[in-house]
Amino acid sequence: MNDTYTFEDIDTVVWNCLQGSQNANDYLAYVKTMLGFKAHQKEALKLARQHWDNPNSEAFFNKALETVTNIANSGNSAAMAHLGRWYRLGSGVEINLELSEQWYQKAVDLNDGKGHTGLGRLCWKSNPNKAAAHFKMAVSMGELNAYSHLADLDRANELEHLLNALQTNEAYADYAYGHYLIRESKTEEEKARHIHWIEKAAKKGYGYAALMMAMHHFKGEMGFDENIEVAKEWCRMGCDTGDLASLMWFSNRFLYMPESQDEAAEHLMSASMLGDKVAQGYLGGWLVGRGKSFEEQAKGIVWLRSSVAQGHPSAMYNLADALRKGKGVEVNTTEAHALLEQGAHLGNSECQCFLGIDYMYGEGVPVNKERAHDLFQIAALQGDLWATFLLGITYESGDGVKQDLAKAFECFMEASKAEFPGAQFRIGRALMRGHGVAKNKPSAVKWLLKAANADHTDAMIVLGATLMSGDGVEVNYRLGASWFQKAADLGNAEAMHELATFHIEGDGVEADSEKVKHWMFKAAALGQSDAIDWVNENYPDQPSWLKDLKKEPQDLSEDLADEISKETSQDSSNETVVPLKSSDDGATKPKTKTQDDSE
């Protein structure tokens, strides 16, 4: 029997075989073989990122596989156990459970307990009793690591098995014992007394234990003070082992922190390259969202498609959104709708919401308001507060369901927990009118002010009108007009028209004919009917650009908007055409940072 190579030596053999490779998959295969225990993973991931755009480069891992196979065939049981694990987990090779069992059995035939441990892992779920027998045989051959696996199957003697596993002095044994003690603790103080076992495992190189330390420091648990920088340091230890959970946790927490963004992006890229569908969907959405050019966005589309291919619903929503907007990919509303249907079927609430909007407005499908309402209802039942907001709109308007203003108000109140300005506006309006709830004008003003301060232009208009009419508040023309001004500055056509009329008589603002013309022209360009009538009446001999104001807003070109802007002379910035749906119809989800959380 060839005992020249130990189990750890085989890891070194693999790493040496990969030197000089420019193929990212070689280094990723190495990371996967290490199972989150620290060796050369940090360097391997760096090289994988460096060579990711060279997929056709010569692969070296086959040389590593051939070398380890030769060592195994020479009678080395450590190499046999390695091959058994590779074929069991698909580490650098395709999963082949038959081959895995053969290599483990060869190690057993040489009286190596690692072979029995591997055979136990193969039948862990299908035949627990058989697996336990293998672990006991491994222990009898001196493979004390098997005690940790036996502890999971024999809960009645779990503590005894974990104590026996500590004899190995290995990181996982420390982690498993510490995890048990913390799980069985009755108080936070008792838990804190046992955290040193997790810390010990992390310092020995077990990546997941390092992540646990990071999370406790991040949250200020287990007797630690809340400290983000210390949390980062612990998580880096986990990332250096290639631990997927650590890579994702760092990305989720720090990708949107400018000082940590580059590092977080590298970890997210590493997790994506390792094949994690959640990471790929997150990275793809981030790249599409931040990309300033079609080419930059297209890189995100590649990751989104990879995530979708693995059945990740959130990626389906993000890819559908990109397909509709032509971000990094040609516009394809048919494919976008199909993705939303697929994601909705899988229970993704975002897909259900956007699919509901499709059916509500007939975008690519016949209008079906009943189905839209049902989709919003299903998504809301999952706790999606944006869905709850959309559901409230259907009850408020009676679209797809019998009108019920009381239910609508309940939905808006629930959705307001997410600080949605649209929900705040509708709560204020309902309280002002007594729709579905008793009138309460002071409370209404409070809610309208919340929405207005969040740049909700319809709330600004109602708040401004309330102040100018003295409805429940002291009359204040100047303050009221200022809210119309803010809404107009944010592109609300109704506010522009009203502001123009204020400038005619000087209501809350100075009388100014040039400002009247300025705001009427802008409102007309956005399709505001009263403004168009004013233009027709006051400018009967219209130049071509002014005649085009009669067109529907969706027919107006950016060039025309530019021309109107030049004519007004007040503002040289380009005006863009408003979408077919208003800013308050719920079709646009509030921009909140949503991430897949690996915790």
Residue 37 forms beta bridges with which residues? 206
Residue 530: which residues within 8 A CB-CB, separation 6 or more? Answer: 497, 523
CATH number of 263-485: 1.25.40.10
How many CA atoms, within 13 angstroms, populate the side-chain half-sphere of residue 147? 26
The pLDDT of residue 92: 85
The pLDDT of residue 539: 83
Contact 569, 519 (CB under 8 A): no
For the chain, how long is the longest CA-to-CA vector? 102
The pLDDT of residue 561: 39
- Work out whether the CA dihedral 335, 339, 342, 344 comes out positive or negative: negative
Q: CA 236 to CA 128: how far, in whole Å? A: 36
Q: CA 317 to CA 281: how far, in whole Å? A: 10
How many CA atoms, within 13 angstroms, populate the side-chain half-sphere of residue 24? 17
Contact 271, 589 (CB under 8 A): no
Residue 206 forms beta bridges with which residues? 37
Residue 307: which residues within 8 A CB-CB, separation 6 or more? Answer: 277, 278, 280, 281, 284, 314, 315
Classified as helix, coil or strand, 259 is helix
The pLDDT of residue 563: 34
Token pair, residue 63, equals: 């040389």
Distance of CA 246 to CAs 90, 426, 597, Å? 21, 42, 11
The pLDDT of residue 312: 96
Q: CA 437 to CA 410: how far, in whole Å? A: 9
Distance of CA 483 to CAs 25, 33, 409, 419, 538, Å? 58, 62, 25, 20, 27
- The DSSP-derived string for 185-245 is -SSHHHHHHHHHHHHHHHHTTBHHHHHHHHHHHHHT-TTPPP-HHHHHHHHHHHHTTT-HH
| Residue positions counted in the chain | 599
The pLDDT of residue 473: 82
Cα-flanking dihedrals φ and ψ of residue 37, to 5°? -105, 130
The predicted model scores a pTM of 0.80
Residue 196: which residues within 8 A CB-CB, separation 6 or more? Answer: 178
Q: CA 421 to CA 429: how far, in whole Å? A: 12
Contact 177, 163 (CB under 8 A): yes
Q: At what angle do helices 207-219 and 171-184 cross, to 10 degrees?
A: 40
Token pair 């070689």: residue: 26
How many CA atoms, within 13 angstroms, populate the side-chain half-sphere of residue 85? 20
In the chain, % helix, strand, coil (3-state, to 5) comes to 70, 0, 30
- Give the DSSP H/E element, type plus range, for residue 466: helix 457-469
The pLDDT of residue 548: 61
The pLDDT of residue 470: 87
The pLDDT of residue 337: 94
Q: Domain coordinates of the chain in residue numbers?
A: 7-259, 263-485
How many CA atoms, within 13 angstroms, populate the side-chain half-sphere of residue 509? 19
Q: Give the other-Cβ count within 10 Å of 486's Cβ.
A: 20
Q: CA 261 to CA 412: how far, in whole Å? A: 35
* Residues in the chain where the model's pLDDT stays below 50: 1, 552-585, 587, 591-599
The pLDDT of residue 576: 25
Nearest to 521 by CA among 572, 489, 568: 568
The pLDDT of residue 541: 74
Q: CA 65 to CA 289: how far, in whole Å? A: 40
Q: CA 125 to CA 535: how far, in whole Å? A: 76
> What kind of fold does domain 7-259 have according to CATH?
1.25.40
Measured CA angle at 208 (ends 136, 50), to 5 deg: 120
Spell out the SS3 assignment of 50-62. HCCCCCCCCCCHH
The pLDDT of residue 582: 37
pLDDT digits (tens, 9 = 90+) for 502-553: 999 898 999 999 999 999 999 998 989 999 899 888 887 766 666 665 554 4
